[in-house]
Structure 1
Amino acid sequence: MNSYYSGRSSRTSRAMTGSSPAESAAPNRRQTMSRVFDHIPDSHKDILESECYAHVATLRPDGQISSHPVCLLWDGEYVRFSTTRSRQKVRNLEADSRLAISAAHPENAWHYLEIRGTAELADDPDRIAIDAVAQKYMGQERYDLDPPDTERVTVTVRIKQVSVE
């Protein structure tokens, strides 16, 4: 396909197909296929164990999609993230618990997963989740960047479907 008609520059098209030696590290997109699971497959747990940044998509009250960057926690069973009660994503999830999370491995953007499911929100007055984020992503025991009296919420994802590539 001509790159003009594909909407991609010829450089991007080459990178996606691995047609030039310098760009051959990118997988041939025509040869890869997404796989769908009802759990996190072993082949993609490394993403959740890494210091990846993810994006969570929620539905706004007007029906528009809203995307928010988050740091993920993974305990082998549940995906979680911490946020403040005042954030739009909390209001969105309180109104409609459906969400989608996209996360790529920090060293290989083509190694990624998308998680679809529902959110369970729980107050976190002891700051357990955000302190776990600080340990994983910042190498410090406690998260100390919130203003005083900030209310924290832990979002636990009930996984319905996982797509991986």
Structure 2
Amino acid sequence: MPAGHRDTQSWPLSAEIEAFLAADGQGILTTLRPDGTLHSVPVSFTWDSEARLARVMTVGRSKKARNLSQAPGSRVSLCQRDNVSSWVTLEGTGTVSDDPERLADGARRYAERYGKDWLNPPGPAIIEIAVDRVMSRNV
């Protein structure tokens, strides 16, 4: 394993990783298309360490949401990096929901992390990633 690289399935995460995931930033979400190829897009997200859950606010018609709706329980990856050489990747099972309570909780967490309200466009959805693996470098 390269110097500074960690791969863990143990909890709790280090204070450094938690701080990195709480910092203002975006990630790259990777889902699988129905044909098995990768679909990667930049996203804003929140991390809930206690629940081991990453949340991405989106709309149900987005490709990322449709990919997960067409393959419930599929694996996804969410990677946040800084402008130098540090990164954290969260991996787990992704689900998409339009449940009003989940949407409200996700929007609240988004506002707390990013200091602004989520736009809440028509057809809102939330992607929840049940994280079971965390990889990092220089964090």
Which TM-score band (shorter chain)? 0.7 to 0.9
- 1:32 maps to amino acid: A
Q: Which runs of 4+ in 1 moved over 6 A?
A: none
Report how far residue 48 of structure 1 moved.
1.3
Partner of 1:15: none
CA distance in 2, matches of 1:40, 1:112: 18
Considering only aligned residues, what root-mean-square deviation do their CA atoms show, in Å? Answer: 2.3
Match of 2:6 in 1: 35
What per-residue deviation string (whole Å, max 9, x for no partner) do you get for residues 117-158 of structure 1? 111222143642234324422x23x33463xxx121122211
Aligned AA (1:37) = T
Question: What is the one-letter code of the residue matched to 1:52?
Answer: G
Q: Name the counterpart of 2:54.
A: 79
Identity rate, percent: 25
Which amino acid in structure 2 is aligned with residue 158 of structure 1?
A
- Contact 2:26 2:45 (C-alpha < 8 Å) held by counterparts: yes
SS at match of 2:19: helix
- Count of residue correspondences: 129
Aligned counterparts of 1:144 and 1:101: Cα–Cα separation in 2: 21
In structure 2, the residue matched to 1:13 is: none
Query: Is 1:112 matched with 2:87?
Result: yes
Q: Is the 8 A contact 2:22 2:113 kept in 1?
A: no
Matches within 5 A, 1:57-136: 57-77=30-50, 78-96=53-71, 97-105=74-82, 108-125=83-100, 127-128=103-104, 129-136=106-113
2: CA distance between counterparts of 1:72 and 1:109? 20
Q: Which runs of 5+ in 1 are unaligned?
A: 1-29
Structure with bigger gyration radius: 1
**Unmatched segments (≥5 aa) in structure 2:** none
2:84 match: secondary structure:
strand
2:88 maps to amino acid: L
- Does residue 161 (structure 1) correspond to residue 130 (structure 2)? The answer is no
Instruction: Pick the structure with more strand per residue.
Output: 2
Query: Which moves more between the two structures, 54-63 or 67-76?
Result: 67-76
Deviation, 1:113, is: 0.9
What amino acid maps onto 1:36 in structure 2?
A: D
Q: Specify whether residues 74 and 109 from structure 1 end up closer, same or farther in structure 2 by C-alpha distance, changes over 3 A only.
A: same
- Is the partner of 2:68 in helix, strand or coil? helix
Distance 1:36 1:49 in 2: 19
* Distance of 1:31 and 1:66 partners within structure 2: 27
Letter in 2 for 1:58: T
Partners of 2:133 and 2:19 lie apart in 1 by 18
Q: Which moved more, 1:90-99 or 1:37-46?
A: 37-46
